[in-house]
Amino acid sequence: MEILLYKLPLLFYFAGTVVYLLFFSIKKDSLSNIALGVTGIGFLFHTFILILRTVESGHLPLSNLSGALSFFSWGMILTYLVLEYWYRIHILGSFILPLAFLSLLSAAAFPNEIRSLQPDLNSSWFGIHTTLTVLGAVAFTIAFVAGMMYLIQEKLLKSKRFNRLYYKLPSLDLLDHLNQWSISVGFPLLTLGILAGALWAGDVWGAYWVWDPQRIFTSVTWLFYLGMIHGRLTVGWRGRKAAYLAIIGFMGVVFTFFIVNLLVEGPHRFI
């Protein structure tokens, strides 16, 4: 029964992905409402599972890569539902749902047994640090999606291809605003996550900062997004340039928070 319960969000996200991709390619606008409903049901199951695993383990289920990917997927769906409520950008689901589904599918490929935290890691800082960091990555993912949509819409405009996709995509101004908003949310979350991690390290190891590979690449990612914000505020990095930078930044996020954890040994590696 427990295994079946864990597979339900994956099933609903897959169904939502299929319907959203159909909405992306064909005319029927009613498909977006069906996809939204299917996604909402999957999100409720996913939320219940996260609560269940938190209660069983006594801490947020973020101590292994499976749990982090699952929470990342959950955060993407939550953000999408909020943006759908605010902006009614139905086609956003055609980009977000596949990413959330692939993230949850990847989580299922890794061991997901519940483990007790090591005594030196069993701290309230653990939940604060990991939650803020993953949610920051979620915000940067939204910026990546907004950047992709911006480039597609700009290409359609320049080629004067006013097809079905053109009318489903939001305006360039709205997409640029969504990019800016996402970076403006993600950067403080990442900053606070880094600070919480430093305070946690100070309590556990007596040193607030150690130059392990994860911290090095996290610092590079933080500096990259700081440069993006500075460039937008001072020299007007908007539009296409901001879209490309958001895409590059997302690649750095994927490498920093997931690839490094798989390839490099260190105190930050998921257990």
Confidence (pLDDT) at 221: 94
Give pTM, 2 decimals.
0.91
Average pLDDT on 12-26 reads: 90
CA distances in angstroms from 55 to 51, 61, 134, 226, listed in the order given: 6, 9, 20, 37
Confidence (pLDDT) at 267: 56
Average pLDDT on 38-44 reads: 95
Which of 23-32, 120-129, 227-236 ranks highest by mean pLDDT? 227-236
Helices (H), 88-212: 92-109, 124-158, 164-168, 172-205
How confident is the model over 143-171, as pLDDT tens digits? 999 999 999 999 999 998 888 888 889 99
Report whether 84 contacts 90 (CB < 8 A).
yes
The domain segmentation of the chain, as residue ranges, is: 1-116, 135-271
Report whether 36 contacts 84 (CB < 8 A).
yes
Compute the mean pLDDT over every residue in the chain, rounded to the nearest whole number: 87
How confident is the model over 187-216, as pLDDT tens digits? 999 999 999 888 877 776 666 677 777 788
The region, left, alpha or beta by phi > 0 then psi within -120 to 50, assigned to residue 59 is beta
CA distances in angstroms from 244 to 4, 46, 85, 136, 207, listed in the order given: 40, 32, 27, 19, 37
**Helix, strand, coil percentages in the chain from 3-state DSSP, rounded to 5:** 80, 0, 20
Instruction: Judge whether residue 39 has pLDDT over 70.
Output: yes
